[in-house]
């Protein structure tokens, strides 16, 4: 596993991290039992993965609790990123006066004295302007040692620029993948300000695993995709599969495309078993060619930039 700096935080993170949304989350992705979840986290650590992304609402707080169990005696080798705004009872509330209690709840569930980073979890745009008091609270928590860094999780380059220009964010999590490339318009500014970038939804909610087609039926959060969304995604699969090297999977191509951008610190695919975990982490072993990166950029610019896919 290769490591990169998380912006100016002084924290080194594995290029491929561990998206922990699925831990304890039987409602959306079938889930796994507690022992399986803890074992999978230990297997990730054994493979050199040290970055774990969670949130209070993942599994109603159980994702954080399972990570807390898994990190018993191992906290020093793990980098934990959690969030604020989506709460364990599945409500959204971004009241800045609730940040402290939310962080303290995460600390209890994770059985730790500090979070390496915490992000405002897709907050309303006006909060990103830095004028609402949220970042002052986060800075206070940082000074107290309860968090090491802070920022926000967002979906667009516009939101990234707002954060970068108006707040003291050290870390930004952003949705970015082969199908959703708009955020790269803000990568240079992030690098100039030495802000660490975490990439979420790198496999387009599993679509870039190559396991689905336009006739696939989803009963979880992916049921938001209508037939037209599925058809448009399916059209790209043959093109992407033609770009694969011998022995390379579509998952690895998708992750290697993301890791090509040196502005990015880590990418956080999810996984439900050891096979998926190894496939994700092995993306760090090789690099994608500049020619393929250019081809994927042009593909997006010519077909999706003006008519983007819904996430």
Q: Which residues are catalytic?
A: 58
Nearest to 178 by CA among 47, 11, 293: 293
Nearest to 198 by CA among 120, 265, 255, 135: 265
Dihedral sign computed on CA atoms, order 248, 241, 234, 283: positive
Give the whole-angstrom CA distance, residue 127 versus residue 142.
19
């Amino acid at each position: 596993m290769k490591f990169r700096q998380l912006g100016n935080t002084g924290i080194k993170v594995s290029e491929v991290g561990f998206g922990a949304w699925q831990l304890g989350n039987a409602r959306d992705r079938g889930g796994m039992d507690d022992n399986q979840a803890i074992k999978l986290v230990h297997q990730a650590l054994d493979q050199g993965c040290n970055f774990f992304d969670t949130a209070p609402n993942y599994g109603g707080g159980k994702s954080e609790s399972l990570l807390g169990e898994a990190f018993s005696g191992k906290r020093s080798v793990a980098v934990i990123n959690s969030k604020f705004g989506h709460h364990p009872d599945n409500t959204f509330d971004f009241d800045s006066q609730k940040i402290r209690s939310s962080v303290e709840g995460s600390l209890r569930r994770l059985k730790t004295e500090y979070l390496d980073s915490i992000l405002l979890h897709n907050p309303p745009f006006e909060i990103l302007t830095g004028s609402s008091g949220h970042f002052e609270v986060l800075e206070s928590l940082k000074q107290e040692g309860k968090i090491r860094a802070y920022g926000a999780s967002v979906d667009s380059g516009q939101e990234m620029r707002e954060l970068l220009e108006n707040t003291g964010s050290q870390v930004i999590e952003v949705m970015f993948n082969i199908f959703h490339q708009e955020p790269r318009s803000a990568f240079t500014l992030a690098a100039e300000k030495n802000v660490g970038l975490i990439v979420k939804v790198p496999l387009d909610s599993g679509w870039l695993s190559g396991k689905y087609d336009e006739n696939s039926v989803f009963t979880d959060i992916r049921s938001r995709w209508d037939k037209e969304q599925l058809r448009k995604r399916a059209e790209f699969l043959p093109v992407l599969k033609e770009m694969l090297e011998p022995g390379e999977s579509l998952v690895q191509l998708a992750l290697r495309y993301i890791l090509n951008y040196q502005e990015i610190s880590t990418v956080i695919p999810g996984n439900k078993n050891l096979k998926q975990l190894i496939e994700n982490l092995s993306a760090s072993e090789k690099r994608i060619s500049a020619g393929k990166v250019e081809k994927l950029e042009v593909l997006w610019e010519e077909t999706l930039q003006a008519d983007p896919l819904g996430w």
